[in-house]
Amino acid sequence: MAAVAGQVTNKGEGAVLSDRAYNAIAETFRALADPTRARIVHLLSFGESSVNHLAENLTVTPSAVSHQLRMLRQMGLVRFRREGQLAFYALDDPHVAILFQEAREHVSDYLQEGRKSREWL
Amino acid sequence: MAAVAGQVTNKGEGAVLSDRAYNAIAETFRALADPTRARIVHLLSFGESSVNHLAENLTVTPSAVSHQLRMLRQMGLVRFRREGQLAFYALDDPHVAILFQEAREHVSDYLQEGRKSREWL
DNA sequence: TCGATATCTGAGCACCTGCTCAGATATCCA
DNA sequence: TGGATATCTGAGCAGGTGCTCAGATATCGA
């Protein structure tokens, strides 16, 4: 405890955001913080896709994909439309694809500094 | 199971990445997927800061901050230098600040669509 | 209507995460 | 050296996450 009890918090040192802002931002990152969801988002960046099509390409059960898609939907990253028996999902926000690409470049740069190999990019 | 057993995986449908690539990308997002770490990264985007200074501004114990900083360090998002008793941390990659800003804009756009208020931005 | 296919959903479980707590380590200064 | 301050670290715990499993729901075609 103790934790330097004085000095409550942010004064005028910049544009400190509210707790709700940081929570929402963290939640956005959390949506992409899982390999399966990252794969889903990357596939959807090429265009909309059905649940089974995603499951096939990801070698994951349709159930698991459906669970993850629900999460992405609740977080506002994807939208879906129904066409007969099929449910087509697509990215709902251009920022999502940008985020993915930016993270991909960060990883590329990071690995390029010689800490690991990068033959997979 | 079953999972549409046929059709192994990615054919030529685009630039599908390797498992290691998706894991690394997801790990990058995971680094920012926590409100405390998001706050830390945002504060560091204004310049380097000591552990206690971060702890004061975040109203979190120095111990918790130190744990999170170690994680961010291991993930290659921050670097640090020691000056006497103090350890100053700073962002180690321009992509990190860009990622944060992009997520902030996504959240802003998302909330602007009327699903929630956004008086905190 | 019936069977086949596609998707969704809740329960349960193994694993992971972030925090606190207690103590270790490191640096400065008297 | 000894005390004060700053930071680090491992153990442990409460809560969260992603998957599987079983079953429900929905749509199409015969």
For chain A, what are the domain ranges? 20-112
- Is residue A55 a contact partner of residue A68, using CB atoms and an 8 Å limit? no
Shortest alpha-carbon distance between residue B51 and chain A (Å): 11
Protein-strand D interface by C-beta, 7 A: A 4, 30, 33-34, 36-37, 60-61, 63-64, 67-68, 71, 82, 84-85; B 1, 50-52, 55, 62-63, 66-67, 69-70, 80, 85-87
Q: Which CATH architecture has domain A20-112?
A: Orthogonal Bundle (1.10)
What is the CA angle A12-B78-B27, rounded to 5?
Answer: 115
Please check the confidence at residue B76 and state whether its pLDDT lies above 70: yes
Tokens representing A102 are 């930016």
What tens digit of pLDDT does each residue of B82-121 get? 999 999 999 998 889 999 999 999 898 877 766 555 556 5
Report yes or no: A60 and B22 within 8 Å, Cβ to Cβ: no
* Nucleotide at minimal C1' distance from the B69 CA: D8
CATH number for the domain running over B20-93: 1.10.10.10
B4's CB contacts (< 8 A; 6+ apart) are A52, A55, A56, A62
pLDDT tens-digit map of A37-85: 999 999 999 999 999 999 999 999 999 999 999 999 999 999 999 999 9
Phi/psi of residue B88, each to 5°? -100, 130
Lookup: tokens for B102: 């992009």
Mean pLDDT of the B62-67 span? 98
The partner residues of B89 in beta bridges, in order of sequence, read B49, B80
Judge whether A76 is closer than 8 Å to chain B, CB to CB.
yes
In the sheet that holds B86-91, the strands lie side by side as B49-50, B86-91, B78-83
